[in-house]
């Protein structure tokens, strides 16, 4: 046979062909050959460039022609997620991605194309996100390169607008189930003589023919249907990790090898029916798990309410706060300083200085001129701008950005650590138990020994432990999302249970800006034209006090403002009608450390007076504070305002030392660090404006959103302001999720103990074990989903609409 006796130079596996080689070095697959080339070639661009140069393969030229439609400007506009004229970002779906070697190769694309800056593979979603230099490479070249190395991208323009859906299950899994099911049914049919107890001695030739037919039917099951298990097992062993597929692969090999030995040696009928049935039911279990997980994941990414609003411009020139999921192409939105751009669009009005660090990691603002495209995920840093949307808001894309590693809560809770340890040590333990069972039964009855060895490897599975977190906690995330408490990931839910100190920002967090009253002192201090200047400047800022001031002057017109600057925690300034206008604290206006209450107004160097702002605290504030205090968590208040309302707040926060006023953003960050250094696990609630640094530093950061677009990637959760008083119930549901996971662990342990006690006796058929293993996973899924849903229903968190 071609390739017989040859070993792959890269992975040392057997080569099934001698076609793939470089000199005297042979490779088992194109992936291994590609990895070798990457590791041993300084400039691989010559192999994959699409220019007409000597040495370019015809295959890559054909791929280039096949993807020529990607050069169409309209197609590029739909596919490109971000572009600043130099660097661009695109995400491709790659169904062929299947193992760790694929991830390694896809994250080293810069060695194949000099235009690639970096690439990141998402194995669960089978996606690769590529940042590339648009003047050095193109979408067509990238797609052709991916196709050339064995990962042809599946491009569906419906996915770009959020209208398409990724497939729940890869189509190849259906083929594998079909092959295994066909073989299983036919092997059972051919095994009827054995089932009927016919005498094999009298009809030996008859049983021999049927045995070889069973062997032929089982070969595609071994080589095709079960290949993913063997690939995963081998990949894990190469990386020094015993994953759950190792015992499964061993069990399959043992069952097939023993059966082939008996058939070829004419010593028995083998267990090919059990072998094919084992693979068939394992694949059915995998199909169910993927289908269910996709449903929960899809609902979270695409359907959950993302509690961020945008200011949509109405036909009469007014504006209204609109949930971003209700925005449509053609809508005009206004984006103020520090606000997130929720969807792609074209800049209509204003000077855009966009901070794309949320997308690219680069913090330098990018200037955008009127008529140019502007991309989702950026933050406006400057005056208010107007954008005409060209795409619907894709909350999945925003979620993807939010979960970028730069903003991720990496610390794992005890339940995740327990799952990791179970996966690490469980496999080694099961291999030991299976070996002991085999050694015990082999001298007495080889058939029983094979049954015991195989059944132990198959029935004992830590999958139930591994599935408990994504399904139980995923359902909790889904329920909380429907109640407008959107949480980044399951690690955040676990972190809630470790909190020992809670820090509250004041303005916009525990105060209700929309109900606050603003009164200018002296009452006649501002003329109508001056009110226009003040309202126009205040309208540029998303800060709660600026919005409150702008709302109090609703009779005044809004005019353009130039040279807008916002100093965090201090004030704002700009020029309108050739007059310099400044609004801010006493320290900001008078340039000295003063603590007079109110927000002062200065026009062309003349202080006109100040706004007296009366705070109205959110409903349920006392209940929220009492909840944390009853759970042995100390509560603190940090505010950039003065201490004139300290008397009102003292009964809620206790001693005066728990309240800090006149705090700058730097002061808030330093205070959070000091608490953490004292051993506290910190939860912080803020508005995401002047406390973004403190939110990111805290162990858990929650942004309270009140019909505004003050989302910050530094936070771990977003709470709609209207749900503030229900925060204790949300946290109780998160705690219940942790409790449910621990109970699922106990249920999984009981299942494994009972299952193993039967398996080691050798009386449990491998087919029955293959049915019970996915059933255990299904049980854990239903248990976690049902218990979390029941608790949410008891707490009034299940919405019927």
722-781 pLDDT, tens digit each: 889 999 999 999 999 888 888 887 887 787 788 888 888 877 766 576 567 666 766 777
The helix/strand/coil state of 310 is strand
- Cβ neighbour number for residue 321 with a 10 Å cutoff: 13
In degrees and rounded to multiples of 5, residue 516 shows phi and psi of -75, 145
In this structure, of 173-187, 302-316, 413-427, 612-626, the range with the lowest mean pLDDT score is 413-427
pLDDT at 729: 94
Q: What's the whole-number mean pLDDT along residues 351-378?
A: 77
pLDDT at 85: 73
Distances (CA, A) of 231 to 3, 100, 237, 249, 288: 20, 10, 10, 9, 21
Instruction: Please state, in angstroms and rounded to a whole number, the distance separating the CA atoms of residues 288 and 579.
Output: 67
Tokens of 717: 């959760």
Q: What's the whole-number mean pLDDT along residues 25-49?
A: 51
Among residues of the chain, what percentage have pLDDT more than 70?
72
pLDDT at 182: 92
- Cβ neighbour number for residue 169 with a 10 Å cutoff: 15
Q: Is the peptide bond before 522 cis (omega within 30 degrees of 0)?
A: yes
Q: What's the whole-number mean pLDDT along residues 97-116?
A: 76
Distances (CA, A) of 87 to 50, 51, 117, 153: 20, 21, 8, 21
- Comparing 636 with 62, which gets the higher pLDDT? 636
Q: What's the whole-number mean pLDDT along residues 399-404?
A: 60
User: What does the radius of gyration of the chain's CA atoms come to, in whole angstroms?
Assistant: 32
> 303 Cβ partners below 8 Å, 6+ apart?
none
pLDDT at 220: 93
pLDDT at 287: 76
Distances (CA, A) of 63 to 54, 142, 745: 17, 10, 49
Task: Say if residue 652's pLDDT is above 90.
Answer: no
Length of the chain: 801
Residues 243-289 pLDDT 10s:
667 777 777 787 788 788 878 877 777 778 778 877 887 787 667 65
pLDDT at 235: 64
pLDDT at 405: 47
Plot region of 681 (φ>0 → left; ψ -120 to 50 → alpha; else → beta)? beta
- Comparing 56 with 323, which gets the higher pLDDT? 323
Q: What's the whole-number mean pLDDT along residues 294-298?
A: 46
pTM over 0.75: no
Helical spans, DSSP H, in 87-170: 100-106, 139-148, 157-160
pLDDT band of residue 238 (cuts 50, 70, 90) is low
pLDDT at 581: 93
pLDDT at 582: 94
- Comparing 708 with 506, which gets the higher pLDDT? 506
Q: What's the whole-number mean pLDDT along residues 373-401?
A: 77
Residues 582-638 pLDDT 10s:
998 888 888 777 777 788 999 998 988 988 877 788 888 999 999 998 888 889 998
- Comparing 411 with 665, which gets the higher pLDDT? 665
The helix/strand/coil state of 404 is coil
Q: What's the whole-number mean pLDDT along residues 38-56?
A: 40
Among residues of the chain, what percentage have pLDDT more than 90?
9
């Amino acid at each position: 046979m071609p390739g017989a006796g040859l070993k792959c130079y890269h992975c040392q596996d057997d080569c099934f062909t001698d076609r793939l080689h470089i000199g005297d070095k042979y490779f088992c697959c194109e992936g291994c050959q590609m990895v070798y080339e990457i590791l041993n070639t300084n400039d691989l661009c010559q192999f994959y460039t699409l220019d007409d140069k000597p040495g370019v393969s015809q295959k890559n030229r054909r791929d280039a022609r096949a993807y020529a439609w990607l050069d169409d400007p309209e197609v590029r506009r739909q596919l490109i997620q971000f572009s600043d004229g130099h660097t661009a970002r695109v995400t491709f779906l790659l169904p062929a991605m299947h193992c760790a070697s694929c991830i390694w190769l896809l994250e080293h694309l810069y060695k194949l194309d000099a235009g690639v800056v970096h690439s990141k593979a998402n194995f669960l979603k089978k996606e690769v996100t590529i940042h590339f230099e648009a003047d050095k490479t193109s979408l067509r070249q990238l797609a052709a390169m991916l196709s050339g190395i064995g990962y042809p991208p599946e491009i569906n323009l419906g996915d770009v607008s959020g209208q398409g859906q990724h497939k729940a299950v890869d189509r190849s899994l259906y083929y594998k189930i079909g092959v295994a099911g066909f073989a299983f049914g036919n092997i059972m049919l051919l095994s009827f003589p054995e089932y009927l107890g016919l005498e094999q001695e009298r009809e030996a030739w008859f049983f021999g023919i049927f045995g070889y037919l069973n062997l032929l039917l089982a070969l595609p099951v071994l080589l095709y249907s079960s290949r993913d298990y063997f690939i995963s097992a081998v990949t894990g062993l190469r990386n020094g990790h015993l994953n759950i597929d190792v015992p499964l692969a061993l069990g399959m090999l043992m069952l097939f090898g023993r059966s082939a030995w008996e058939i070829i040696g004419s010593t028995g009928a083998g267990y090919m029916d059990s072998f094919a049935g084992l693979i068939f039911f394992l694949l059915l279990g995998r199909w169910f798990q993927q289908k269910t997980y996709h449903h929960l994941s899809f609902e979270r990414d695409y359907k959950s309410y993302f509690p961020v609003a945008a200011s949509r411009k109405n036909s009469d020139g007014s504006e209204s706060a609109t949930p971003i999921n209700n925005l449509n192409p053609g809508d005009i939105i206004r984006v103020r300083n520090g606000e997130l751009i929720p969807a792609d669009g074209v800049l209509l009005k204003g000077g855009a200085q966009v901070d794309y660090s949320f997308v690219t990691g680069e913090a330098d603002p990018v200037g955008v001129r009127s008529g140019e495209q502007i991309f989702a995920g950026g933050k406006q840093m400057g005056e208010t701008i107007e954008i005409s949307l060209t795409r619907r808001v894709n909350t999945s894309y925003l979620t993807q950005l939010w979960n970028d590693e730069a903003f991720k809560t990496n610390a794992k809770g005890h339940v995740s650590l327990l799952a990791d340890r179970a996966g690490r040590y469980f496999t080694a333990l099961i291999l030991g138990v299976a070996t002991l069972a085999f050694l015990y039964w082999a001298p007495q009855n080889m058939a029983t020994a094979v049954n015991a060895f195989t059944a132990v490897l198959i029935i004992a599975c830590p999958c139930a432990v591994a599935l408990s977190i994504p399904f139980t906690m995923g359902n909790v995330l889904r329920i909380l999302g429907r109640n407008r408490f959107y949480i980044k990931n399951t690690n955040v839910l676990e972190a809630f249970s470790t909190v020992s100190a809670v820090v509250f920002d004041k303005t916009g967090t525990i105060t209700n800006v929309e109900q606050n009253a603003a009164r200018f002192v002296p009452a006649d201090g501002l003329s109508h034209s001056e009110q226009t200047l003040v309202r126009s400047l205040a309208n540029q800022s998303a800060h709660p006090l600026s919005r409150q001031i702008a709302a109090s002057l609703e009779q005044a017109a809004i005019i353009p403002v130039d040279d807008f600057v916002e100093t965090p925690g201090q004030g704002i300034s700009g020029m309108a009608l050739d007059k310099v206008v400044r609004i801010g604290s006493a320290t900001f206006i008078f340039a000295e450390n003063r603590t007079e209450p109110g927000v002062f107004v200065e026009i062309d160097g003349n202080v006109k007076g100040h706004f007296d702002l009366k705070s109205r605290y959110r409903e349920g504030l006392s209940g929220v504070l009492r909840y944390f205090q009853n759970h042995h968590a100390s509560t603190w208040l940090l505010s950039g305002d003065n201490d004139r309302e300290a008397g009102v707040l003292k009964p809620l926060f206790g001693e005066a030392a728990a309240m800090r006023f006149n705090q700058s953003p730097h002061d808030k960050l330093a205070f959070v660090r000091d608490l953490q250094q004292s051993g506290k696990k910190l939860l912080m609630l803020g508005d995401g404006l002047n406390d973004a640094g403190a939110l990111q530093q805290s162990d858990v950061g929650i942004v309270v959103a009140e019909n505004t677009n003050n989302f910050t990637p530094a936070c771990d959760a977003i709470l709609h302001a209207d749900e503030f008083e229900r925060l204790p119930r949300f946290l109780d549901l998160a705690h219940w999720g942790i409790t449910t996971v621990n109970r699922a662990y106990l249920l999984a342990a009981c299942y494994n103990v009972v299952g193993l006690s039967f398996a080691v006796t050798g009386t449990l058929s491998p087919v029955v074990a293959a049915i019970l293993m996915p059933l255990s996973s299904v049980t854990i899924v239903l248990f976690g989903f049902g218990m979390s849903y029941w608790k949410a229903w008891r707490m009034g968190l299940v919405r019927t609409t």
